[in-house]
Structure 1
Amino acid sequence: MSSPAPSRSPFARRKPQEGPRASFRQLLPFLFEHKRMLWFIILLSVLGALASLAQPLLVSQVIGRVQKNEMLGSLVWALVALVVISALLMGYQHYLLQRTGEGVVLSSRKRLISRMLRLPVAEFDARRTGDLVSRVGSDTTLLRAVLTQGLIEAIGGAVTFVGALIAMLILDPVLLGLTVLVVAVSVLVVVALSARIRQASAAAQARVGDLTSAVERAISSVRTVRAAGATEREIAGVEQHATAAWKMGIRVAKASALVVPVAGIAMQASLLVVLGVGGFRVASGAIEISSLVAFVMFLFMMIMPLGQAFGALTATNQALGALGRIQEIIDLPAEDAHDAEIAAALSDPGTVSAEAAAIEFRDVKFGYATAPASGGVAEADEIRTVTTTGERTEVLRGVSFTAERGTRTALVGPSGAGKSTILALIERFYDPQDGAILFGGRDIRALDRGDLRGQIGYVEQDAPVLAGSLRDNLLLGAPDATDADCERVLRDVNLGEVLARNSAGLDAAVGEDGIMLSGGERQRLAIARALLAAHPVLLLDESTSSLDGQNEQLMRVALDAVAKDRTLIIIAHRLSTVVDSDKIVVLEHGTVLGTGTHSELVASVPLYRDLAKHQFLV
């Protein structure tokens, strides 16, 4: 038996990671989902650009007529109309961009959530919950900036830029050449800075994920933390992650901030050059004053799109850093991605038979993949007690037993024997590396996961209760159940008092993780949820560990009532709850030491006899 790995502080400093980075091509599908609206926005942007380009031409004509003492006529009203139309187009375009940006965020969240909740359980073992939550909340929000901070506006700006460039070329090629020289230098600087912004943004989002994980950890265990007097240490640890996120945010700010003065310098330098050289050319008679005024206006129109382009480049680089983290999850295979291949590779999947055993294990071997340092691993208690072979931690070493239909089978043994892993394999949270598990005589890998789980009720060891109401929890596995059914099953598990003490009845809130219920009540609610679904096979993992003697007896009566037509597989440390089982399977270190009834095992299996003696059952 190997020694446990040295403990590692959850707040230990880790080397910052940039994480995966997406390409612009991976961003396009999110935008193309709204292509009709985007084309309309681009049209508005182009119309707005044309309206803006017409303004300097009108201003030039107004100045020319004033110099010649001619009547202005309708020029002023045309200029006012262009200004108003340009402003209205800009406002409407801004609204549509914001709306479409929210649509991009929504679609990305839907895709991410859909894939995330279909990932193999092993992925959740190896990843931090807070980091996954951060990808749904924080990372997807950055995709909005691609639209709202200049990408689509930059398309209309390109029209303005080209139009202004042509007009400036016609007005004065010399001034245009000097302007382009100044602007070209600024563009080169911004392009060089964009890579730094992208890298810093990806690293910043990773640090935000670390912070979210730390906050989720501290909040979810706040009672344990306070009882242990560790509040200040937890605060310091979370603050360390907050500081790390702040530092990475500062890196992004520094890289982004360099873009702003570059654009400002380009604008000021261009304006000074135009005014200086242009004033000299006006004095020499090379151009008219009206042409210089129009050139300056076109200069502003040319520089503004550059600012939009710089902003779009910054926002896009930040979004691509976040999209890399989103795409990392979306690209992971779903839990059932390879089920067809697995089923096709089975040499003899068998057929479902009413005469076959409900559940049969045939020389099943299984080991958990070694977890990365940053993540946890399911079945931690079991993993710490077994040896690690290669990259897998061996848990089951050739387990064989059968659970006949309509019988009660108990799994007993010390912690780490592999009992909870057996139930996880029946549910196909994992697949065995060797051997086979049969459901009604057919290899479960040949069955659809949804169909398989539709036949199995599962009450986990920690009796999870979902935030919401009693009804929400009960209807999770039986959405069509009536209120009468819900109330009946609650009374069957002795939870009638919970209904009575709250006027809301089935709508009574249970709190986050069921905190408004006692440990025993949470366990009974989890069992009630499984009983209401009325599955033919029921898996109970330490389902009565938090119950007192009276409630345990009532629970046994309730289970006896529903067990008549069901197959039960029960894990229990307290042998008193399973001594009357039809079959008891004794496990140690992932192997089966013996199977039989209570009296048979007391006589034949020393480990079981010792367990029974310690619990005064012999």
Structure 2
Amino acid sequence: MSNSPARSPRSRFGAKDEGGPRATFRQLLPYLAEHRKILSVVIGLSIVGAAASLSQPLLVSQVITRVQAGDTLGTLVWVLVGLVVASAMISGFQHYLLQRTGTSVVLSARRQLINRMMRLPIREYDSRRTGDLVSRVGSDTTLLYAVITQGLVDAVGGSLVFVGALIAMLIIDPLLLGLTVLVIAISVVTVVLLSGRIRIASRKQQEKVGDLSAAVERALGAIRTVRASNATDREIATIEKDAKGAWDMGIAVARISALVVPVAGIALQVSLLMVLGVGGFRVASGAITIANLVSFILFLFMMIMPLTTAFGAINSVNQALGALGRIQEIIGLPTETQDDSRIADNAAPPIASGDAISFHDVDFEYTVPPVAPAAPSGNGSSPGVEATEPRAVLRGVSFSAARGKRTALVGPSGAGKSTILALIERFYDPQAGVVRLGGVDIRALDRTELRAQIGYVEQDAPVLAGTLAENLRIGAPDATDQQCVDVLRSVNLTEVLERNELGLEAPVGEDGIMLSGGERQRLAIARALLAAAPILLLDESTSSLDGLNEQLLREAIDAVAENRTLIVIAHRLSTVVDSDQIVVLDHGRVVGIGTHSELVATTPLYKQLAKHQLLV
């Protein structure tokens, strides 16, 4: 499968603006549709609340008319009070449902985003910053909450009030209504013109927040190096620069929003002054009664209030759509397995083979990750993705690892050793050639099935924050406590187990900071051994160990290696000499295959490496 340069995120979306993808309201609808039952109840309450609100000015008009005529009010006042109380109770319950639904929408978005983010091809992680991805899960999804709680659904009920008030005002006095609509129309046009700018500015603000998260994650992840290098002040300055960029874009959003928010207030004040002036003249002329004028003014307030809500909804929705564009950018990426059925159809036919793993004329090249400048660009927009020329790593690589035997990979740094293990794990697929497992092209295998047969210890194997037991059970969730204890003892981690009274439940700290470098490496190996996969890949697994622990670990690996296939990237000569086969790599090509004694006699590069104890 080709590892072609990643397309710019802009090309994945039909619409685009100055800085990247932008979502449409249609893309927001699935998040709302998932909670349509509760939203239906909310809309129903909005309708009831709108009816209760619209009844109040009519009752006030009746009260004024009866007082002017000297009639008794009877139960009219109590009905009016009841409507006010009912409106308040409906509003409170509706507020609760909106808050609950808003939180649920955020949860749904986060689940979908996390599910897609955790299944992306490895090459996507190569080209993206961890902090920015974390920001999309946290900050960007939170803006969806505002869509629900700050006016979108409430605007439905508000629109009913608006229309009802409009009809009532038309019946009371068409002339006053015409003047009012003129003012409102001007305000609506103003908001519409500003709403697009809010969306763009909001998306840029979220991008700057993502840059800030990435900068903080970078600095905290290397805090010891930063302190040891006396670079604390420089890192703080870099982070503060990103924080200032986020602040600048926040101010831009606030500046545009500040133009939107007063529009409704101005419309209300101008409309009220116009109604009082013209309405007072019409009362004096006998065109309308004072009771009708009071009712008209009350309906005017009722019409402006939902208009304010609608303007707020437009503001919230446009901010959310800016963030949703960043969410959809990730959700729109293909998963690691999305094209597997097509890839499997093009896989090479199986062959009869007694080998566990075999490479046949394999070519592979990395697409260099896009380069984005650390500092924000002058116009505040995010940099586009710049694909560069692919970097060839493997060229015509062919070798076989016999079942139940140990194969060592040796060669200078950059020779392609770790890439071979990555291809076996299907983190990437080769551009040419075939990698086979037991004679079957691994592209024809389900990735889960393939990886269940492989234990993999990376060169810098991570230790996850949590406990010893949690780290061990990543690949063997059903392992018993005794099995965990036994495997820790096998890699000489008994001391780690015993130095904390919590035993297996002892915390290891963030990135395993409570363990030494050698202990972290041995824990990673114990994790692979516990999974008991028939194939074990070890990428320089003894590089951080002293001589004693290396010997103990070699004995542990030898004990479990029986009937298992081992492919080991060698760091020291002691790891190589006992191998059944050694594959020598140089600049992505196989330059020698054989035993230690054979290669010393036939392969100059291996002889040179062996002379220097393979410490390259």
**What residue is the counterpart of 1:534 in the other structure?**
532
**What residue is the counterpart of 1:119 in the other structure?**
120
1:142–1:319 contact (8 Å) kept in structure 2: yes
Distance in 2 of aligned mates of 1:511 and 1:616: 33
**C-alpha deviations, 1:305-341, integer Å up to 9, x for none?**
1101101101001111111111111111110111111
**What residue is the counterpart of 2:548 in the other structure?**
550
Unpaired stretches in structure 1, ≥5 consecutive residues: 1-15, 377-388
1:363–1:398 contact (8 Å) kept in structure 2: yes
The one-letter amino acid paired with 1:157 is: G
The one-letter amino acid paired with 2:276 is: L
**C-alpha deviations, 1:473-517, integer Å up to 9, x for none?**
001000000000000000000001001100000000001110110
Counterpart pick for 2:367 among 366, 369, 385? 369
- TM-align CA RMSD: 1.4
2:120–2:336 contact (8 Å) kept in structure 1: yes
Shift of 1:288: 1.1
Task: Give structure 1 regions of 4+ aligned residues with deviation exceeding 4 angstroms.
Answer: none
Shift of 1:421: 0.3
Distance in 2 of aligned mates of 1:40 and 1:240: 46
**What residue is the counterpart of 2:502 in the other structure?**
504
**What residue is the counterpart of 1:4 in the other structure?**
none
**C-alpha deviations, 1:402-434, integer Å up to 9, x for none?**
100001101011110000000000000000000
**What residue is the counterpart of 1:458 in the other structure?**
456
Distance in 2 of aligned mates of 1:31 and 1:21: 18
2:198–2:257 contact (8 Å) kept in structure 1: yes
Shift of 1:375: 9.2
User: Greater shift after overlay, 571-580 or 51-60?
Assistant: 571-580
The one-letter amino acid paired with 1:43 is: G
Distance in 1 of aligned mates of 2:401 and 2:369: 32
**What residue is the counterpart of 1:591 in the other structure?**
589
Distance in 2 of aligned mates of 1:463 and 1:476: 13
2:132–2:210 contact (8 Å) kept in structure 1: yes
The one-letter amino acid paired with 1:525 is: L
**What residue is the counterpart of 1:203 in the other structure?**
204
The one-letter amino acid paired with 2:134 is: V
- Note closer, same or farther for the CA distance 1:140–1:616 as it changes in structure 2 (3 Å cut): closer
1:125–1:375 contact (8 Å) kept in structure 2: no
**C-alpha deviations, 1:568-617, integer Å up to 9, x for none?**
00012212222111111111100111011111111111111111112299
Counterpart pick for 1:610 among 598, 603, 608? 608
The one-letter amino acid paired with 2:567 is: I
Structure 1 SS opposite 2:593:
strand
Q: Map residues 133-532 of structure 1 onto 2, 5 A cutoff.
A: 133-346=134-347, 348-350=348-350, 356-374=354-372, 391-532=389-530
2:102–2:144 contact (8 Å) kept in structure 1: yes
- Note closer, same or farther for the CA distance 1:237–1:521 as it changes in structure 2 (3 Å cut): same
Shift of 1:298: 0.3
Shift of 1:440: 0.4
| Alignment coverage as a number of residue pairs | 587
**What residue is the counterpart of 2:78 in the other structure?**
77
Structure 2 SS opposite 1:480:
coil
The one-letter amino acid paired with 2:557 is: L
1:41 equivalent to 2:61? Answer no
Structure 2 SS opposite 1:403:
strand
Distance in 2 of aligned mates of 1:494 and 1:578: 22
The one-letter amino acid paired with 2:293 is: L
TM-score (norm 2): 0.94
Structure 2 SS opposite 1:569:
strand
The one-letter amino acid paired with 2:107 is: L
Shift of 1:391: 2.8
Structure 2 SS opposite 1:565:
coil
**C-alpha deviations, 1:541-584, integer Å up to 9, x for none?**
01111111100000000000000021000012212222111111
Distance in 2 of aligned mates of 1:577 and 1:501: 30
**What residue is the counterpart of 2:377 in the other structure?**
none
The one-letter amino acid paired with 1:404 is: A
Shift of 1:17: 6.2
Structure 1 SS opposite 2:20:
coil
**What residue is the counterpart of 2:384 in the other structure?**
none
Distance in 1 of aligned mates of 2:504 and 2:388: 50
Shift of 1:18: 2.7
Distance in 1 of aligned mates of 2:614 and 2:473: 40
**C-alpha deviations, 1:252-288, integer Å up to 9, x for none?**
1111110112111101001111111111111222111
The one-letter amino acid paired with 1:603 is: A
Structure 1 SS opposite 2:476:
coil
2:542–2:571 contact (8 Å) kept in structure 1: no
Distance in 2 of aligned mates of 1:298 and 1:349: 77
Shift of 1:19: 2.1
**What residue is the counterpart of 1:89 in the other structure?**
90
Distance in 2 of aligned mates of 1:80 and 1:219: 59
2:150–2:316 contact (8 Å) kept in structure 1: yes
Structure 2 SS opposite 1:476:
coil
Distance in 1 of aligned mates of 2:515 and 2:397: 37
1:413–1:573 contact (8 Å) kept in structure 2: no
Distance in 2 of aligned mates of 1:160 and 1:275: 22
Identity of counterpart residues, as a percentage? 70
Shift of 1:528: 0.4
1:470–1:509 contact (8 Å) kept in structure 2: yes
**C-alpha deviations, 1:17-46, integer Å up to 9, x for none?**
632101111111111001111111000011
Distance in 2 of aligned mates of 1:68 and 1:89: 34
**C-alpha deviations, 1:344-377, integer Å up to 9, x for none?**
123x3206x6x5200000111000012211299x
Structure 2 SS opposite 1:594:
strand
Distance in 1 of aligned mates of 2:368 and 2:395: 17
Unpaired stretches in structure 2, ≥5 consecutive residues: 1-16, 375-386
Structure 2 SS opposite 1:587:
strand
The one-letter amino acid paired with 1:446 is: A
